[in-house]
């Protein structure tokens, strides 16, 4: 985990600030990227990375602050990674593991408490006694009793490795998206990704959340294009394979449940759900979370299979053998998911083939069905933005940024009034 990832993370239970506790660090040099680095990087040998002064307001925060290091040069984030450590919430006292370079920020009911306890005890041997005692005292005595009707599906994904008896099951992850044994599917993925990316309207300096990133090839491609990307997936196995494929020069990756996003509010410019949202059990809850983490007027794109997906034989087999949810979506479904959230009215985007002879014809459902250039459904949603927020931005941002926002706000208002 790079130290700067902490600037995008929050406790999945209370959305509180997290502190990075370092157990082991490893040299992992990557090319310098042109981005603004905050002063959260710890110097060599530090136990606690630099903290916001406000952290000391809680008993745990006060102990963490006493052990927190002064900031190291931000560029050190390009040279090292936290291999093993703990992320501690200064508000509610929960702690979360960093193991094998991956932070695990799952909600209480999806954690393996025995495994986490063993991990904590191993880390405790290398940490100051005062800090260990403070972490033990602050941690909630019992996990959340939240009702999660999709827990079975989620546990099936978390434990997928134990269910797989095919030695080649995970092999595509080591070359994703390229699979020499499934050429058509490889070309489908690349084509759909190429159609989805322009809809995100990404620009220099944007931060993107890749929801359900799996083997993380979409996260990787956008990262290599210069976008700051944070990939989250509930299955650690997929992310581990992604790390093995990419090496040190890779995007931020987090083990997390997208229905309980451990991401700071209004920290993301865009969200991508690429062939992943059809695995989410509670999509209304997930959509509310996406609305929370997006900045005003932030964009989300879903590239997902249609409603017939769950009836395909391959989907039936996956659900039966592995217990993973396979349920596609249509525009009416997405409209239901966004209702009551901060997300605006969704649009379905079509990429069509048309010859010069067909220009001028009426584009109806029949034409779309026969002329689609990509399989699957593409949906685009923008977070709602008040006029006050838009005008306020004019005082902070250059005209080239503000005018597009004003135009988008005007278009949204016309749509809601039925004038467009």
Task: For residues 259-279, give the mean pLDDT.
Answer: 97
Whether the ω angle into residue 177 lies within 30 degrees of 0, i.e. cis, is yes
3-state secondary structure 223-239: HHCCCEEEEEECCHHHH
Length of the chain (residues): 420
**pLDDT higher than 90, residue 420:** no
Residue 264: pLDDT band (50, 70, 90) is: very high
DSSP designation for 104: B
- In three-state secondary structure terms, 124 is helix
Q: Select the more confidently predicted residue: 288 or 415.
A: 288
Distance of alpha carbon 406 from alpha carbon 394, whole angstroms:
9
* Torsion angles phi and psi, residue 77, rounded to 5: -65, -20
Distance of alpha carbon 233 from alpha carbon 214, whole angstroms:
6
* Torsion angles phi and psi, residue 379, rounded to 5: -125, 140
Task: For residues 397-407, give the mean pLDDT.
Answer: 61
Q: Quick one: pLDDT at residue 360?
A: 86
Percentage of the chain beyond pLDDT 70 is 91
Distance of alpha carbon 72 from alpha carbon 76, whole angstroms:
7
- In three-state secondary structure terms, 9 is strand
pLDDT in tens, 288-312: 999 999 999 999 999 999 999 989 9
Annotated domain spans of the chain:
3-146, 162-384
Q: Quick one: pLDDT at residue 418?
A: 58
pLDDT in tens, 136-188: 999 887 666 678 899 999 999 999 999 998 889 999 999 999 998 999 999 99
What are the angstrom distances between the C-alpha of 256 and each of 11, 12, 172, 275, 320? 11, 9, 22, 17, 24
DSSP designation for 248: S
pTM of the model: 0.89
Residue 210: pLDDT band (50, 70, 90) is: very high
pLDDT in tens, 181-203: 999 999 999 999 999 999 999 99
CB 381 within 8 A of CB 291: no
**pLDDT higher than 60, residue 68:** yes
**DSSP labels, 350-395:** --B---GGGTTS---HHHHHHHBSSSSEEEEEEB---HHHHHHHHT
The end-to-end CA distance of the chain, in Å, is: 46
Task: For residues 65-81, give the mean pLDDT.
Answer: 95
Residue 276: pLDDT band (50, 70, 90) is: very high
Q: Select the more confidently predicted residue: 204 or 2.
A: 2
Candidate from 211-215, 329-333, 383-387 with smallest mean pLDDT: 383-387
Distance of alpha carbon 411 from alpha carbon 406, whole angstroms:
9
Residue 415: pLDDT band (50, 70, 90) is: low
Considering the segment(s) 162-384 as one domain, its CATH architecture is 3-Layer(aba) Sandwich (3.40)
Q: Quick one: pLDDT at residue 363?
A: 87
> In terms of Cα–Cα distance, which of 365, 355, 371 is closest to 330?
365
How do 18-27 and 80-89 pair as beta strands? antiparallel
- Based on DSSP, count helices (H) and strands (E) in the chain, helices before strands: 14, 11
> In terms of Cα–Cα distance, which of 134, 129, 46, 59 is closest to 91?
59
Burial of 393 from C-beta contacts in 10 A (0-12 / 13-18 / 19+): middle
Q: Select the more confidently predicted residue: 339 or 418.
A: 339
- Average pLDDT of the chain to the nearest whole number: 91
- In three-state secondary structure terms, 208 is strand
pLDDT in tens, 115-131: 999 999 999 999 999 99
pLDDT in tens, 336-371: 999 999 999 999 999 999 899 988 888 888 888 888
**pLDDT higher than 90, residue 416:** no
């Amino acid at each position: 985990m790079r130290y700067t990832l902490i600037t995008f993370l929050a406790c999945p239970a209370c959305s509180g600030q997290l502190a990075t506790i370092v157990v082991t660090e490893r040299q992992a040099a990557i090319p310098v990227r042109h981005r603004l680095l905050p002063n959260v990087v710890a110097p060599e040998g530090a136990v606690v990375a630099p903290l916001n002064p406000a952290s000391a307001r809680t008993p745990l925060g006060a102990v963490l602050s006493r052990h927190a290091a002064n900031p190291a040069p931000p560029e050190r984030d390009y040279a090292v990674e936290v291999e093993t450590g703990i992320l501690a919430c200064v508000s509610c006292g929960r702690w979360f593991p960093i193991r094998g370079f991956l932070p695990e920020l799952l909600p209480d009911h999806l954690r393996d408490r025995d495994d986490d306890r063993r991990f904590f005890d191993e880390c405790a041997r290398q940490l100051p006694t005062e800090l260990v005692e403070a972490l033990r005292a602050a941690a909630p005595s019992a996990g959340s009793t939240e009702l999660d009707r999709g827990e079975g599906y989620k546990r099936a994904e978390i434990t997928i490795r134990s269910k797989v008896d095919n030695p080649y099951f995970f092999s595509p992850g080591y070359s994703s998206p390229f699979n020499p044994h499934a050429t058509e599917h490889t070309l489908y993925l690349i084509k759909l990704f190429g159609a989805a990316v322009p809809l995100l309207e990404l620009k220099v300096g944007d931060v993107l959340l890749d929801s359900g990133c799996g083997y993380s090839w979409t996260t990787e491609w956008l990262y290599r294009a210069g976008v700051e990307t944070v990939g989250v997936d509930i299955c650690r196995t997929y992310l581990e394979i992604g790390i093995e494929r990419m090496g040190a020069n890779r995007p931020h990756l987090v083990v997390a449940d997208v229905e309980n996003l451990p991401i700071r509010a209004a920290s993301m410019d865009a969200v991508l759900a690429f062939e992943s949202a059809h695995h989410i059990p509670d999509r209304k809850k997930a959509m509310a979370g996406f609305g929370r983490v997006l900045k005003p007027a932030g964009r989300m794109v879903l590239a997902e299979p249609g409603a017939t997906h769950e009836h395909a034989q391959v989907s039936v087999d996956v659900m039966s053998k592995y217990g993973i949810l396979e349920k596609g979506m249509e525009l009416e479904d997405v409209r239901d998911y966004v209702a009551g959230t901060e997300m605006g009215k969704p649009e379905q985007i079509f990429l069509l083939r048309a010859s010069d002879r067909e220009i001028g014809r009426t584009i109806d459902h029949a034409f779309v069905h026969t002329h689609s250039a990509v399989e699957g459904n593409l949906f685009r949603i923008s977070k709602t933005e008040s006029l006050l927020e838009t005008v306020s931005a004019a005082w902070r941002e250059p005209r080239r940024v503000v005018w597009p926002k004003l135009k988008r706000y005007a278009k949204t208002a016309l749509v809601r009034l039925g004038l467009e």
